[in-house]
Amino acid sequence: MFSRRLLLVSGKGGVGKSAVATSLALAAARRGSRVLLMGMVDALGLAIHLGVDDLGPEPRQTSPGVHASVLDRANALDEYLRLQVHLPRAMPTKQVTRALNVLVETAPGVREIVSMGKPIFEAQRRAWDMVVVDAPPLGQLISYLRAPATIERLVPTGAVQRQAAAMRRFLGNPERSGLVLVTLPEELPITETVSALTELAKEPLIDLAKVVANRVLGGLDVPAHVVAGLPDGPLRHAAELHQTLTTQQRFWLEAIGEATLLPQLFGLMTPGEVAARLTDLWDDA
Amino acid sequence: MSGRILLVTGAGGVGKTTIAAAAGVTSARRGTATLVVTVDPARRLADALGVGSLGNVPTQVAGEPQLWAAMLDVTASWEAIVARHADPEIGDRLVNNPFFRAIADRFPAAQAYAAGEQMAEFVENGAWDVVIVDTPPSIGGIDFLLAPAQVRDLIGGTLLRWLTGARLPARRALYRVAARPALRLADMVLGGPLLEEIADFLLDLRTLYDGVAQRAKSVDRHLRSARTVVVTNAYPTPLREARRFFEELPEGSVVPNAVVFNRELPHEWETITAVPGNGGDLDPPTWTALRDNLLRWATEARRNADARADFAARYRATLASAPWLPQPPTDLDALAGLVAAAPGLEEALFG
């Protein structure tokens, strides 16, 4: 996993996507990689896990080997056309530029390809060994991954079309790009993960690098009849809660097959602590 | 209760749908004709409510004479808006336009607004005393409240203005003279006739404006009169979404009536830092495992308590806790029990 140039980290909202993305970037840096960690939706998720106030579009170093940035939505289209499609910097008139911005808002696939273009562009630069992306949530992921093919159909010729084709190949190349899907061992996140996995199996848009189940409880090695025999009180209630949850979690985990399990981190207060602990876990893995 | 609408909102994955369903059963059992409008519930919850195959049409919940349930299908709703506000020929053209899907999928505001129109219809229908709305996960945040104004702008021509210049041509013919040359130029750069098609689409969309603007006003009015409850848990993502209701709503908006912390552990665990005794008859490893387990969950309880206290210190809001049910409720009694077992929750939901 750490040999790829681009890792997209996605999952249903609230499953710990930003925490896992941050930990993967930190773990890769520990292995000697120069890493860019990019937020595609907002800066806050990554910023709180990195322990910085805010992130901007310019990559800034947040720890040895790790730079972080957030996608600049306002200038994304301009950058995409200039750096990737290699169009001349100035469009003929203001009106054309404005019209192109409307294109981003209305045409299927355009906003997505403009957003996806940036991390793919960065992943091809020599400045980084690896780009880890806090990607859009699971519900939107497939339309982002499909965007290059959508654009190829929408725009039949020209530089935009060629660039979209190159993007599709980069995403589809398992040696270069991989997807990390984060989930929780609960009904809704698992159901959504399973349907995303089914879609990706039908349509190989990107190689699945890993499924990560977050906040998994360790077993409580006490027989049920011993728990049931305890006097009424917190000791018994905590044991019952733990064992019921563990049973539920095992049931849901079976549905996703092979997955890397990250433990529930009890009582950790700050997102920074969570990211640091998860980073250590990748080292052990 | 003060309002006829109870809006249950918050980030995805916090148990909004369960809380909304539990509120529905509780309200119905208080003798109030109640409609729960829900979105994509988990399988077992859908079974509990008997809403497995529901569409937009409210269906009475079996065994609960005062309770109805309907599913909110946001894509169908958006098409319904077009059907209602566009003339038939333009409506057909719009729905079959490739950009239409993109807009419908793209703008959370459009989805949220569609849901809002549907909610308004149920409220105005008059068949229910209370309409409980569980907001869709993708628009669980404040977007739902901001949607009417945003959609009005979208349809009214924000995009069209960008596309065609500051002065919006009133008639199609004018647009062809004023804007088309620039769009042609941009299209040449792109390699396809995209922008010209988009301009045509936006001009069609604009014909919806009068109807939508009027409807948006009444949706907005309903939303302002609604009782709003934000559901969250102690994790950063949902908390951030909950804070937005207090920090990012424009001047003059109604702040949420209550914030429900879901999946709470028993509050008495918060003070447990040591477990006295030596386990008596239990063998030492079993005792150690049980003791450490309680201590771990107690730290979790303290973390939740700290998050709650932090929230209470920052914002003036009624806070309530809903217990962590290791087994999700699978029938109506279990749903009602969820509210009954949580001190302060009924008050938070219904005022």
A111, A189, A238 ranked by CB distance to B297: nearest: A238
Name the band, by pLDDT with cuts 50, 70 and 90, for residue A65.
Answer: very high
B181, B187 in Cβ contact below 8 A?
Answer: no
CB B159 to CB A161 under 8 A?
A: no
- Exposed, middle or buried: residue A44 (CB in 10 Å: 0-12, 13-18, 19+)? middle
Please give the ipTM for the structure prediction: 0.87
Instruction: Give the number of domains in chain B.
Output: 1
Model confidence at A270: pLDDT above 70:
yes
CB A239 to CB B290 under 8 A?
A: yes
The confidence score (pLDDT) of residue B205 equals 82
Residue B96 placed within a domain: yes
C-alpha distance from B165 to closest chain A C-alpha (Å): 7
Which residue range is the domain that position A23 belongs to?
Answer: 6-211
Instruction: Give the number of domains in chain A.
Output: 1
Residue B154 placed within a domain: yes
A96, A240, A241 ranked by CB distance to B182: nearest: A96
Asked if A248 is an interface residue toward chain B (Cβ–Cβ < 8 A), one would say yes
| Cβ contacts of B306 on chain A, cutoff 8 Å | 269
Give the N- to C-terminal CA distance of chain B in Å, as an integer: 6
What CATH number corresponds to the domain at position A138? 3.40.50.300
Residue A252 placed within a domain: no
β-bridge mates for residue B5, sequence order: B131
Percent over 70 (pLDDT), chain A: 96
Which residue range is the domain that position B240 belongs to?
Answer: 4-160+216-350
A41-45, A168-172, A210-214, B108-112: lowest mean pLDDT where?
Answer: B108-112
CB B191 to CB A221 under 8 A?
A: no
Residue predicted with more confidence, B50 or A10: A10
All residues at 6 or more sequence positions from A27 whose CB lies less than 8 Å from its CB, including other chains: A2, A279, A282, A283
B98, B159, B190 ranked by CB distance to A158: nearest: B190
The confidence score (pLDDT) of residue B59 equals 87
Q: Which tokens in the block code for residue B29? A: 């059992």
The confidence score (pLDDT) of residue A126 equals 94
CB A111 to CB B106 under 8 A?
A: yes
Residue B9 placed within a domain: yes
| Cβ contacts of A155 on chain B, cutoff 8 Å | 190-192, 194
* A234-246 average pLDDT score: 95
3-class secondary-structure state, position B129:
coil
pLDDT block averages, 10 residues each, chain B of length 351? 76 86 95 87 71 73 91 71 86 84 70 82 91 75 75 73 58 63 74 78 82 87 90 88 86 84 94 90 93 96 93 91 85 92 92 87
B44, B191, B272 ranked by CB distance to A234: nearest: B272
The confidence score (pLDDT) of residue B2 equals 37
CA B85, CA B72: separation in Å to the nearest integer?
20
Residue A274 placed within a domain: no
The answer to whether the predicted template modeling score (pTM) of the entire model surpasses 0.80 is yes
Q: Is the dihedral of CA A182, B7, B305, B25 positive or negative?
A: negative
Residue with tokens 């308004």: B120
Asked if A246 is an interface residue toward chain B (Cβ–Cβ < 8 A), one would say no
Residue with tokens 């569609």: B114
Size of interface A-B (CB pairs under 8 A): 167
Residue B291 placed within a domain: yes
Cα of B78 vs its chain's centroid, Å: 16
A39-43, A135-139, B53-57, B109-113: lowest mean pLDDT where?
Answer: B53-57
Asked if B184 is an interface residue toward chain A (Cβ–Cβ < 8 A), one would say no
Model confidence at A121: pLDDT above 90:
yes
Asked if A233 is an interface residue toward chain B (Cβ–Cβ < 8 A), one would say no
Report H helices in B157-283: 158-164, 172-178, 180-190, 194-206, 209-225, 236-247
User: Which residue does chain B place closest to A86, by CA atoms?
Assistant: B189
- Mutation choice for B interface testing from A106, A184, A186, A274 by most B CBs within 10 A: A106
What CATH number corresponds to the domain at position B284? 3.40.50.300
The confidence score (pLDDT) of residue B44 equals 67
* A271-276 average pLDDT score: 91
| Cβ contacts of A188 on chain B, cutoff 8 Å | 13, 42
Asked if A194 is an interface residue toward chain B (Cβ–Cβ < 8 A), one would say no
Give the N- to C-terminal CA distance of chain A in Å, as an integer: 11
| Cβ contacts of B240 on chain A, cutoff 8 Å | 44
A230, A236 in Cβ contact below 8 A?
Answer: yes
User: Which residue does chain B place closest to A245, by CA atoms?
Assistant: B326
C-alpha distance from B71 to closest chain A C-alpha (Å): 17
Beta strand residue intervals within chain B, DSSP E:
5-9, 34-38, 59-60, 67-71, 130-134, 227-232, 258-264, 318-323
Q: Angle B278-B281-B283 (CA atoms, 0-180°, nearest 5)?
A: 75
CA A162, CA A168: separation in Å to the nearest integer?
10
The confidence score (pLDDT) of residue A91 equals 56
Model confidence at A253: pLDDT above 90:
yes
Residue A272 placed within a domain: no
User: Which residue does chain B place closest to A235, by CA atoms?
Assistant: B294
Residue B42 placed within a domain: yes
Asked if B136 is an interface residue toward chain A (Cβ–Cβ < 8 A), one would say no
The confidence score (pLDDT) of residue B137 equals 62
